[in-house]
Structure 1
């Protein structure tokens, strides 16, 4: 998923009519965050179980490294999706639209003087 697909960003001088508060993408953001929290909790549980086990220190160390690698691999796609959702995109343009319109009015006013 590309961040640009989430927003209909217009590059005209007028404020884009599709500017929203982003509430329609909040469930997907929240879903990604929930999944990441679940992965974190699962990793912590597995890590604690491994530390409490009666395995030898060398084996525990190897298994802990493997567990951390698996954790990073499982998290990566969710982190990438979340980063794409949080990239500065159309919402910044929407927030700046009134300033842009104001500066246009100032330019128009100064050009008529």
Structure 2
């Protein structure tokens, strides 16, 4: 923890940001940014990091074990909730891909 990771996003003129909707009263929007197009998900504060990885898997087809999610330089642990990390509405989370697992 305490590691700062800078991600470089490649410009993509065909890239259109997309939003994945979920119906619930307590939802908030978070954006997962990667070398791909940013993706906005409607999630709940009680969702775990593993659940967010599953959403990204369903949307982009990248397996959860290849995903490393980061917020404020901290690697997010699968069993912790968004609320645990203080992630709220409008937060951006960064995705780094693990290579060679």
**TM-score, shorter chain, exceeding 0.5:** no
Normalized per residue, the structure richer in strand is 2
Higher normalized helix content (fraction of residues): 1
TM-score (norm 2): 0.20
Radius of gyration: which is bigger? 1
